[in-house]
Structures are given as structure tokens and as C-alpha cells.
Structure 1
Amino acid sequence: MRNINENTITAAVLDRMAGCEDPRLKEVMSALVRHMHDFAREVKLTEAEWAAGIEFLTATGQKCDGQRQEFILLSDTLGLSMLTVAMNHSKSAQATEATVFGPFHVPGAPRLPLGGDISGGAAGEPLFVDATVRGRDGEPVADAEVDVWEADAEGFYDVQRPALDRPQGRAVLRTDARGRLWFRGVMPVAYPIPTDGPVGAMLRATRRHPWRPAHVHFMIRAPGYQTLITHVFRAGDEYLDSDAVFGVRSSLIGNFASHVAGSAPDGSLQPGPFHTLGFDFVLEPAE
């Protein structure tokens, strides 16, 4: 096709993909082209603006490495991550809701026995977690693999501390025969997502704050059940209603109870304040 103009180019691009043999790929790519072209026409996108957009995406990719995923951060802050989660993880009323995965999970975290200390020496007031994992009908889920990760008292994950030579604030544990899980960590605090890259520049330009409410991440896997990726948020946090990545669900707000110095749930004597969290996770059956 020759003499293509702004009104005919979309059809021309779609026609070039007519021979695609993967129906889902064809559907996704066709919709992407249509929406991108409609967007450009709607805002009357200039060449300079599109060049700036390309520079932004290039810089986003350049900010990614083995310890940082700026594109996940971009997806999170634009609400696309949570939209995808909401569309793909519709659950029954009994099941625990899913939320964003986030950019700070690391495969191969240390495997600890129940009752272990996941902090790895991270700074923070002690937190003792006692949770259960069960199915939708109330059955305990034994030997479920529970991946846990959290930030330290300054709001940093271990991957944000390049000088560290060991994992901190993360571990993999397994539930006991009753579906019970318990461990020690540190009390979570609200923290800003990284703002030293393109995503931070975007937030500043659009007058948005970068803060996430205090939370602990959980990923729970067990045969016969859907994998659950979720957080437990700290009740009363000032950012619960303005989470930078739109991940808060009321059902995921937990009661992080505070205690004065004294005997902790694991029998240890704590010389200063400590905290406890009880939470029940309910898994959806596998499809």
C-alpha cells in the first residue's frame, strides 16, 4: 500500500499481520496497534514528544539489572500490574486476595525451618508472625511452600544494599501438618519506591508521591491450589489509601499488635518493644 496517511496507516499495519499463525499473538498485537494509533491521534502526538517517550523507555531498560527491574516498577506505578492481577485472579469470597508481585522478589531465598528468623540481621523491631494456610473449604494445607520477603526498618530490601554479602528479610518456609506457619522478622515500615530512575522522574513530573504502606510479601504454592501472591499490610498506615502501586485491599490489612519488653511468642525474652501478627491465608483450588 502506498500513499498511507494518518487515517489509513492503522489498517495497513493490521493487514501486514494477517498471516500471523498464532491467534492469541495476532489478537494481542492487533489490539496493541489499534490502541497505540488511537492514542497518538487522540493526543495529537508530536514527533518531539514521541522521541521523548522513546528516550524514557530506553532509560527504563537501561536502569534494569540483576537486582533492579525498572519496568516492573513502571508497570506498578501506572496501575497496569494491579489491573492485570485483578483480571487474572478473580477469586471466591473465601479466598485471600492477590496483589502486585513487586520488583524485589529474589529466587532462591534461604530455606528456613518453622520459627526461623528471616531477618538475617536486618535492622528493625522484632516481628513474630503466626499464620495458617488452608483451602477454601477450611482444610489445612500441609507442606505449602511459603516465600516471604520484606524491607528493613529504613525501608530498604536487601537487593537495595549492594554492600550486603548475604540475604536479609527473605526466606522460604513450609507449613506443618496443620497448615501452620510461624517465623520471626522485623516490623515493616512505609517506604518510598526507588525514585532515582525514570519512574521517579515520571512521578515527580505528575506530582505523585512514591510511598508504599508498610507490608510483608507472601507467595504461597501448594499442589492442587492456585499460587497466591499477596501482601499483608499494617493497619493504620498513612499510605493505605494512596499506595503508589495501587495494591491495597481491605481484606489484606492485618493487625500488627505492639508489645512492651517481655516474653515473646517463641519464648525469648525481648529487651525492647516487639510486635506480633496473626493471619489466615485461604487458597483457591487449582483450575
Structure 2
Amino acid sequence: MTADVIDSFRDTPDERLRAVLASLVDHLHGFVRDVRPTVAEWESAIRFLTATGQACTADRQEFILLSDVLGVSSLVETLNADASGDTTEATVLGPFHVTESPPRADGDSIDLVGRGEPCLVTGSVRAAGGAALPGASVDVWQCDDEGFYDVQRPDRQPPGNGRGLFAADEQGRFRFRTVVPSHYPIPTDGPVGELLRRTRRHPYRPAHIHFIAAAAGHRPVTTHAFVAGSPYLDSDAVFAVKPSLIRECALVDDPVRAAAAGLPNPFRHVEFDIVLRPESP
């Protein structure tokens, strides 16, 4: 049967699609032979996948969440990343990049609520050889100090809170004001949450800020800056933590620096430099 199903795709014009389907059928049939599910178990799996799709909305992507907790998202990012170690490591997109980040000017605040511990984030976007990448785009998004994204609490956070799209300056530098994010649980009110409960896994992610950096002639990178000392760094529910991405959230007690940054004193400071690999020929 497996050979017949694979052969049924023989006329697929797209060579890559034909190869992917052949591999999918081969591995999927192998999985079924290994597990030997009952009809009731197969029906339960169909209901789970159906419920996962039904949980998706314009502001929520339950299938990405499922991919995350199974480690698939992190594996895809790792397989597509530069293995040389010279560039910034990639990690998961996550389920909350569901709305466009509003364009903001250098040094603007992405905190529209005014609650939480103030923080200045600075960094640069460079090429693997060290050259600055002026005008590089830096898309950022994060949860608030209570662990929620704007789309999760539209009654308490205005749209765009915790989000910003920045352009690096002539030296490839960027900076923005925000608040220190909290660790938080991924959404557990859907099918993925039920899966975690049945397997006795916790749903928590360590505190982090998401980044997508891109520049002409270079491959974009989707990554995180993880807050050093945050709970769950060693047991992230979506397997996204990489040691190279952990950053100190240093306390700065300096009224002059605070005034220059437009923040109250004291404040926290995170430095996060991003190195992009060149596009393949």
C-alpha cells in the first residue's frame, strides 16, 4: 500500500512537492505500523487535529503552538540556520507574531501601558565579517510585565503594545525603550493545553524579547533575547532556548544615562547584537 500511495504522486509537476509527499507517506505509514493505533485512537487523533484548526483565529495560531511544543518549530529553524557559529542563532517564531508591528523611530518606546520595570534595549545588525548593515529592519515583539501579549488582552493593552518595527542607523545600531518582560505560560485553553496536561508537562516560557532582523543581500533571522536568570531557561515549553541568546538585564543606576534614554532612574539595560549571514548565491 505504501508504495502505491507514493506512486500515486508520480505525475506531480513540482519535483520538491513530489519528494516531500513521498517522504511524508513513507514516514507516516511507518509510524502507523509502529504504533498500530486502534480505530478509536485514529478517530481521537482526527478530532484533536480538527480542534486544533478550529482554535486558530486571526489573533491565534494553534498549529504553530502545536509545532512549538513538539519541538518541530525549533528543529526547522535549526536546520535552516547557519551552522558555522559566526551568525546569530535562530529560534522559534512563536504563535504571537500575528499582527504587523507598527513602525517606530529610533529610541521610541514600545511600551504603551506605562507599567513594569523600565528597560532600554540597544544593539546592532552586522554582517558576518563585521560590517555594519545600515537600514536593516528590526521587528520586535514581547509580552508585558504580567506575561501577556497585546492580542491576548485587548481590553487591557492597546493594539501594538510591546511591538515595534525599527530601522538600524548608519552604524547599524538600533535602540528602543520597553519594560522587562515576564516569563509566562503559553495558551492552555485549547487542544495543545490539553495535550500538555495529559502528558504532565508545564506550559511555561522564560522571559524573552522576539526579534526578526533583515537586510538586503542577507538572510533574515528570527530569534530571541532571553533574560538571564529567568525561570524556565532550562525547561522552555517550546525548546527554543540557546545559550548564545541569553542576555543580562543589567541594572543601571545613573540619572544622566536615564535622562538621555528617556527613562526613569534606575532602569534595566539589555544589549543584543545581531549578525546576519549572506544570501546563498
With normalisation by structure 1, the TM-score equals 0.92
Query: How far did residue 145 of structure 1 move?
Result: 0.7
Residues 107-142 of structure 1, C-alpha deviations (whole Å, 9 max, x = no match): 432111101001122632111011111111111110
Taking the TM superposition and a 5 Å limit, the aligned residue runs for 1:77-96 are 77-96=69-88
Give yes or no for contact 1:122–1:168 (8 Å, CA) kept in 2. no
The aligned counterpart of 1:201 is 194
Letter in 2 for 1:74: L
Give yes or no for contact 2:101–2:165 (8 Å, CA) kept in 1. yes
Give yes or no for contact 1:147–1:219 (8 Å, CA) kept in 2. yes
The aligned counterpart of 1:135 is 127
Q: 1:249 aligns with which of 242, 248, 253?
A: 242
Describe the SS at the equivalent of 2:89. Answer: coil
**Which runs of structure 1 show a deviation greater than 6 angstroms over 4 or more consecutive aligned residues?**
none
Query: How far did residue 260 of structure 1 move?
Result: 5.0
Q: 1:182 aligns with which of 175, 192, 208?
A: 175
The number of residues matched between the two structures is 278
Q: 2:113 aligns with which of 96, 118, 121?
A: 121
Q: 1:12 aligns with which of 1, 4, 28?
A: 4
Query: How far did residue 165 of structure 1 move?
Result: 4.4
List gaps (5 residues or longer) in structure 2: none
The aligned counterpart of 1:5 is none
Q: Distance in 2 between matches of 1:13 and 1:27?
A: 13
Select between 71-80 and 258-267 the one with higher mean Cα deviation.
Answer: 258-267
The aligned counterpart of 1:34 is 26
Give yes or no for contact 1:128–1:265 (8 Å, CA) kept in 2. no
Q: 1:55 aligns with which of 47, 54, 68?
A: 47
The aligned counterpart of 1:192 is 185
Cα–Cα, structure 1 residues 115 and 269, in superposed 2: closer, same or farther, change >3 Å? closer
Q: Distance in 2 between matches of 1:212 and 1:190?
A: 6
Residues 181-225 of structure 1, C-alpha deviations (whole Å, 9 max, x = no match): 111011011111000000000011111111101000010111011
Q: Distance in 2 between matches of 1:149 and 1:265?
A: 24
With normalisation by structure 2, the TM-score equals 0.94
**Structure with greater Cα Rg:** 1
Cα–Cα, structure 1 residues 195 and 62, in superposed 2: closer, same or farther, change >3 Å? same
Give yes or no for contact 1:118–1:170 (8 Å, CA) kept in 2. yes
Q: Distance in 2 between matches of 1:227 and 1:127?
A: 25
Q: Percent of counterpart pairs with the same letter?
A: 50
Give yes or no for contact 2:90–2:222 (8 Å, CA) kept in 1. yes
Residues 229-275 of structure 1, C-alpha deviations (whole Å, 9 max, x = no match): 1000011122111111111111100111124584516344626x521
Give yes or no for contact 1:142–1:176 (8 Å, CA) kept in 2. yes
Q: Distance in 1 between matches of 2:175 and 2:145?
A: 20
Select between 22-31 and 189-198 the one with higher mean Cα deviation.
Answer: 22-31
List gaps (5 residues or longer) in structure 1: 1-8
Aligned-residue RMSD, C-alpha: 1.6
